[in-house]
């Protein structure tokens, strides 16, 4: 070692800094590529979920929108169009068709809708619970679909 030339410290630090900068640039490029791949996968997953939700079967519901005062009130109040029970069957999401106020007129102003769809989290009654709760030997979704007609007798389904 006595015969080795002295180290040029300036050249050493320049080469070290250049290698470090190249390493940072390569790491940054790899990180950007990784982020683009993750964004692409997330968008593809979102598109697949939207297509899956759009391809689900759904029933048709006919609503009777006659004059409120002319319709007999034997249903006992508003009934939901759909009920989606929570996992514990103590509450559920109720979806209702709501007639919007007309301001004293017979119909809503031109260009506005007189009907809205509203959802609320409600507590299930014992009668609803007996119709919606999963029996031991039947599939959950099939049971709910077959018993929904008994729960909502005023709807005409296709």
Three-state secondary-structure class, residue 48: helix
Please list the residues that pair with 131 across neighbouring strands.
Answer: none
User: Looking at the predicted structure, is the pLDDT value of residue 83 above 80?
Assistant: yes
**Per 3-state DSSP, what percentage of the chain is helix, strand, and coil (rounded to 5)?**
40, 15, 40
Q: How high is the pLDDT of residue 47?
A: 94
Q: How high is the pLDDT of residue 131?
A: 74
Q: Is the CB of residue 132 less than 8 Å from the CB of residue 140?
A: no
Instruction: Round to whole Å and give the CA distance between 81 and 63.
Output: 9
Query: Does pTM surpass 0.85?
Result: no
Instruction: Dump pLDDT digits (tens) for 87-130.
Output: 888 888 888 888 787 777 877 778 788 888 888 888 888 877 77
């Amino acid at each position: 070692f006595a015969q080795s030339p002295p180290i040029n410290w300036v050249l050493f630090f320049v080469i070290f800094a250049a290698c470090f900068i190249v390493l940072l640039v390569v790491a940054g490029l790899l990180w950007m590529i990784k982020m683009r791949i993750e964004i692409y996968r997330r968008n593809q997953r979102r598109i697949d979920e939207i297509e899956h939700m759009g391809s689900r079967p759904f029933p048709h519901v006919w609503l009777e929108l006659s004059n409120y005062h002319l319709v007999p009130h034997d249903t006992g109040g508003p009934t939901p169009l759909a009920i989606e029970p929570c996992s514990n069957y103590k509450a559920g999401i109720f979806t209702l068709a709501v007639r919007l106020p007309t301001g004293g007129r017979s119909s809503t102003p031109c260009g506005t809708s007189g009907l809205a769809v509203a959802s609320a989290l409600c507590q299930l009654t014992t009668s609803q619970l007996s119709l919606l709760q999963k029996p031991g030997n039947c599939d959950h979704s099939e049971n709910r679909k077959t018993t929904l007609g008994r729960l909502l007798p005023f709807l005409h389904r296709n």
